[in-house]
Each structure stands twice: as C-alpha cells, then as structure tokens.
Amino acid sequence: MAISIGQNLSTSILSKFTENVLRLKQTTPADFKRFFKWITASIKVGSERVAENDGDQLRLPPCPDMIMDREIEKERPATAADENFAVMLGKCSTTKRPYLLKFARRMGNPEDMERLIHDTFFLVGSYTIDEEQYRRLSDPHAHGRDIKAGRLAGAPNCPCCGNDIGLVVCGHCGHTLCASSESKEVTCPWCASTLTLESGDSGDFEINRTIG
C-alpha cells in the first residue's frame, strides 16, 4: 500500500509499485489525527490477520475520502502542474543566472473565508539553480497555468545577486527577472529590453508558471 498526501498530486509512480494507492486529501491537524488513527487501526488488523494466517489479502478498516480514483489519475496529463504550488523560473538581471521562485497554496481551516475566497499562494522561498542540470532534468513540454499576481503573497528577493525585487515580469517577453527598488530601469536578461519600473496595483497581470 502507498499513500500520497495532498490534493493534485500525481500517483502514477506509486501505482507502479502497488495497486493500493490512497490519498490523504486534506492536511489540517484534525485530518492528520484521523489519518493516524486509521493507520493504527490498519496495523492492528494486519497483525491479527497474519496471526490468524488468513492469507495475503488484508481487509483494512474503511477509509472514507482517502481512496484515489484511479480512472481520474490515468487521465491526468503527465505535464500538468501541481495546483498546490506556483513556481516561476526567473533570470537574474545582474548575473544572468536562473533561479526559481516557489509559492504554496495554504487553505488553512474552512472558516478562514478570506483565504478561501482569494485562493492565495504564499511565498516559500527563492532558490538558485544549476541551469545545465535544470534543463537536463526538466520536461520542455511541461507547463503550468498562468497565475494572477494578486494571488501571490510575499515579496521574494533575488537569490543570485540579492536584489530586493525578485519577481518582475517583462512586458515584452513575459519572462520573470529581478530588479532593485533603487533603480528606475532594468534590462531584461531574457530579451534585452529596457524596462521602466513602476509601483502600484499589480494584481491584474498574469505570470507564467513552470513545473519547478
């Protein structure tokens, strides 16, 4: 038996090892408590079956809302993004090195209506990457759905040069780059366009996502 934790996770790899693939959809403290109670009961039942020499088929306690729908899983595109995360591939405007920005969806408790309504992704971190290794390990056809800037919470810096603005979107090529808040202009390292930095409401434009 294999168990995945969280929604929108592909279990195709787990399915190669066992047909008994379960999914813990919610990750609140109450759900984890219920999950571990089920695990404890399953171990107890398994031990009793082995002691009774009842064959190889274990009849585990029911686990509502955890069973993976295998038919849906088969139809899931291999290149689909995990909708629990928003990952952007950026390039440093100073060093021209690539980096990744990662945001995570954290729904919290059901009564947290503000986050439920706005479906916010919160900053996890910014990371330098090895460009050659990243290209070698990445699927060139993989892509994620664009995301509105207003759904992102947190202000990442550039992990390559330390610029305090790690999420700038080029209006010409649409790629992500970094900039300094002390500068009025920046040159896009992707397309070499000169960009004028402006402050204000940025919640309307779309940002390209990658698989990460």
pLDDT tens sequence across 106-139: 655 545 545 545 578 999 999 999 988 888 877 6
Q: Report the domain count for the chain.
A: 2
Contacts of residue 56, Cβ cutoff 8 Å, sequence gap at least 6: none
Same domain, yes or no: 56 and 154: no
Report the C-alpha gap between 70 and 75 in whole angstroms: 9
What are 142-183's pLDDT values in tens digits?
Answer: 556 788 898 899 999 999 999 999 999 999 999 999 999 999
- Token readout for 137 is 């390990």
Report the C-alpha gap between 98 and 166 in whole angstroms: 11
Same domain, yes or no: 39 and 93: no
Same domain, yes or no: 143 and 38: no
What is the pLDDT at residue 158?
Answer: 98
User: What is the pTM (predicted TM-score) of this model?
Assistant: 0.64
Domain that holds residue 12: 2-75
The domain boundary, picked from 16, 49, 75, lies at 75
Same domain, yes or no: 155 and 119: yes
- Token readout for 152 is 């992102």
**Does 80 map to a domain?**
no
Beta bridge partners of 67: 22
What is the pLDDT at residue 75?
Answer: 44
What are 69-79's pLDDT values in tens digits?
Answer: 443 444 445 45
What is the pLDDT at residue 70?
Answer: 43
- Token readout for 82 is 């995990």
The domain boundary, picked from 50, 75, 100, lies at 75
- Residue 173 CB neighbours (<10 A): 14
Q: Strand 85-91 vs strand 98-105: parallel, antiparallel, or unpaired? A: antiparallel
- Token readout for 76 is 């899931």
What single-letter amino acid sits at 91? K
